[in-house]
Amino acid sequence: MRSIWKGVISFGLVSIPVKLYSATEERDVAFHQVRRSDGSRIRYKRVAAADGDEVPYSEIAKGYELPDGETVVLTDEDFANLPLSTSRAIDVLEFVPLDQVDPIYFAKSYYLEPDKTGAKPYVLLRDALESSGRVALVKIALRQREQLATLRVRDGVFVLETMLWPDEVRAPDFGFLDEEIKVRPQELAMASSLIETLAGDFDPTRFTDEYRAALTEMIDAKIAGREIVTAPAAEAAEPAGDLMAALRASIEAARAGRPGGGAPADEAAADEAEPAEPAQANRRASRARADQPDEESPAEGAEADAVTTSPAGKAKPGGKKSPPKSAPAKIAPKTAANGAKAPAKTTAKAPVRRSA
């Protein structure tokens, strides 16, 4: 990595020399604008609107346009005279709890590496800050712009998170916020059950950029001269007319896609959220009178609301088999010259049991 800024962390009377590095990078596939016929690069020239003459970079200045159309020209000398007290310093203003800082304020992340002479005070401040459970609210000037930032510890290194100013965060001004929208307790309980079904620990390594992978594979196929096969478009889901039915279907789909199925607490919440249908209530009452709450007939097992799957994806007794997930789009090789399709697999029929 290459440092993009050098300065000091000003902490009381202590100054810690540091170097600033970008902590993140974009992994998008880069493209150039080219002429379609031969792939020739498209170049842009800086030209003046008044006469169309090309303007060298050394003669370009910044201009602020007034409401009447006139322009105020600002040069590098004008910007150099502006007061930036934190031009080469990261001034610690105060230490605040991290949960009090709304993530909407965060803009970009940077790593801070100590200079050789500042390693000891760097480690001292790092350990003290980490044990405090707080983050340092600082002020820094980057690219001739003064910014608020937070200083926290990640993997033994200071991370500087630049922030937006409060007047740069827009207020949500939407019409539905003024409407009185009522949510039934049954709907809220079902939505909470769905959240619990999909609950888990955050692990970013489980997620990948599938679009970028498919784009890279397509480019590799063009380089190799292979034929590109476009995957059929997925069918658009129809809007759900019943909110409760949509929530119940979402819970069942979430349970079906997870090994071990949903928790019993989710089923209890679903039972309490919606009154049982008359047919289901009669069956439960008859089972209670027979004192056999765990036994169900085959028909009742097929109509059970709970859907569970085994880790292998097969339906467990009393559950429903989960629908197969659609395979990700891949670039298929060229088919045979005669265009014949591969023979379909045949499914063996189960043997018929004979009564003794």
Question: pLDDT value at position 162?
Answer: 96
Q: Return the residue matching tokens 């590496």.
A: 113
* pLDDT value at 153 more than 90: yes
Tokens representing 105 are 């304020």
| Structural domain count, the chain | 2
Residues 199 and 270 grouped into a single domain: yes
125 and 88 within one domain: yes
The reported pTM is 0.61
Please tell me which of 177-181, 229-233, 342-346 the model is most confident about, judged by mean pLDDT: 177-181
What pLDDT is stored for residue 316 in this prediction? 42
Q: What's the DSSP call for residue 87?
A: T
Q: What is the pLDDT of residues 229-274, one digit of tens each?
A: 555 565 666 665 677 788 888 888 888 876 544 444 444 444 444 4
- Across the range 212-240, mean pLDDT stands at 73
CATH number of the domain that 11 lies in? 2.40.290.10
Q: Are residues 187 and 269 in the same domain?
A: yes
Q: Which domain holds residue 198?
A: 181-203+243-278+303-322
**Mean pLDDT on 19-31:** 91
The DSSP 8-state label assigned to residue 179 in this structure reads S
Same domain, 117 and 261: no
- Residue 142 pLDDT > 50, yes or no? yes
Q: How many residues does the chain have?
A: 356
Residue 150 and residue 122 in one domain:
yes
Indicate whether 237 belongs to any domain.
Answer: no
82-139 pLDDT per residue, tens:
876 557 899 999 999 999 999 999 999 999 999 998 999 999 999 999 999 999 999 9
Q: Is residue 287 part of a domain?
A: no
Quick check: is 286 in a domain?
no
User: What pLDDT does 273 receive?
Assistant: 44
Among 24-38, 93-107, 333-347, the range of highest mean pLDDT? 93-107
In a domain, 355, yes or no: no
For residue 285, being part of any structural domain is answered with no
Which residue type occupies 240? A
Alpha-helix residue ranges (DSSP H) falling in 11-55: none
Separation between Cα atoms, residue 348 and residue 333, nearest integer Å: 30
Q: Note whether 187 and 274 are same-domain residues.
A: yes
Could you tell me if 135 and 198 lie in one domain? Answer: no
Same domain for 123 and 265: no
pLDDT of residue 183: 92
Same domain, 147 and 194: no
